[in-house]
Structures are given as structure tokens and as C-alpha cells.
Structure 1
Amino acid sequence: MTDHNPLYADACETCPTYDVFPESALRDGIDGLIAGYRCPNCGHIWTCGWQIVPGRSIPPEPITDSSDFNEHVTARVHEQAAMARAIKHLSKGDPA
């Protein structure tokens, strides 16, 4: 079977740019990740949640000491990953 999206690419919602690859990503638990994107054409920034696909390359974690570091993408990735972890934790319910 061929993986039609081997790098977790996404499309920009503000301009007709396809195959925008994530700048960075964080795992939001065991089986998911939050990827951060910046459109190379219009500069739009967004995040997207993905189910981890076995064998697919995971985008790199945010690196703050790189010349390519984008604080807005990194902040959104960290915020969304924290929210996803909290939702998973809270959805387990109270066993009482």
C-alpha cells in the first residue's frame, strides 16, 4: 500500500497552496501528534492534529535555537498539544 501523505502535509486554508509540510510537531499522547504549519506563500499559520501512522516519518519537535525557529508556530503547537493531552486526561472520567 502506498502512503499518499508520507510527511503529514496539509493545505493552506487562506490561499490555494497544497502540500505544506509541518515545521514541527509534538506528540499529544501515545497515538497522536499536533503539527504546526506556516504557508510559504501567504504566511498563514495553523496546527493540525494527526493520528500517528506506523512507518511514517514524524516531523521534528520544535527547536528554539535554530535560525528557522518560528515562535508563533511553536507556541501554537505547544498550546494545542497541551489541550489535547488535557482533553484525553479529562475524558477518562471519574471512576467514583
Structure 2
Amino acid sequence: MTDPNPLYGDACEACPTCDVLPESAVRDGVEGIVAGYRCPNCGHVWTCGWQIVPGRAIPPEPAVDSPIFNRQVTAQVHEQAAIARARKHLSKGQPPPAA
């Protein structure tokens, strides 16, 4: 069976563009990534969480000072990855730290 989505492509929700490839991604733990997208037609920016599929190429991590990556996409990717890590940490049933 061939992988129907070998590059973690997604569709833009702001316009009818399909198969938008991620600009960058950050691991949100051992088994997942948060990928950042920018629509080539309308410029809409979004993130999407994915479970890592063995054998599927993971998009590059964004470099904060690189002109290649869009700053808005990079910021959203890092923010969503941090939120995902916090959710995983808090869902383990550990009590919150003492104030």
C-alpha cells in the first residue's frame, strides 16, 4: 500500500487550495509533530498536528533567524508544539506544582 499523504500535506481552509506542503515542523514529543503551513495562493497561515508515520519524511525544523522560513509560521509552530507538550505532561495525572 502506498502512503496517500507522504509529505504531511494539508488543505487551506481560507481558499480552495489543496495539497499545501508544510513549511516546517517541530516534534511535540516522541510520536508527534506540529507542522506549519502557508498557502501559496492566499497567504493564510496555520498549523496541524500529526502522528509521525514511519518512513514518511518529516519537514525541516524552522530556524528562527533564517530568511527561508516565514516568522508567523515559525511562531505558530513553536507555540502549538509547546501547548501539545504541556497537555501531554498534564494529562499524566501529575498534580500541578505548588504555588
**Superposition TM-score tier, normalisation by shorter sequence:** over 0.9
Partner amino acid, structure 2, of 1:34: V
Where structure 1 has 5 or more consecutive residues not aligned to the other structure, the ranges are none
How far 1:63 moved relative to its partner? 1.7
Identity of aligned residues (%): 77
In the TM superposition, what are the counterparts of 1:21-32 in structure 2 within 5 Å?
21-32=21-32
Q: How many residues align?
A: 95
**TM-score normalised by length of structure 1:** 0.95
**TM-score normalised by length of structure 2:** 0.92
How far 1:68 moved relative to its partner? 1.8
- Pairing 1:39–2:39 present: yes
RMSD: 1.1
Where structure 2 has 5 or more consecutive residues not aligned to the other structure, the ranges are none
Give 1:6's aligned residue: 6
- In 2, Cα distance between the equivalents of 1:33 and 1:64? 18
- In 2, Cα distance between the equivalents of 1:30 and 1:24? 17
- In 1, Cα distance between the equivalents of 2:53 and 2:69? 26
Cα deviation digits, residues 59-83 of structure 1 (max 9, x gap): 0000234332211000000000000
How far 1:87 moved relative to its partner? 0.1
**Could you say what secondary structure the match of 1:4 adopts?**
coil
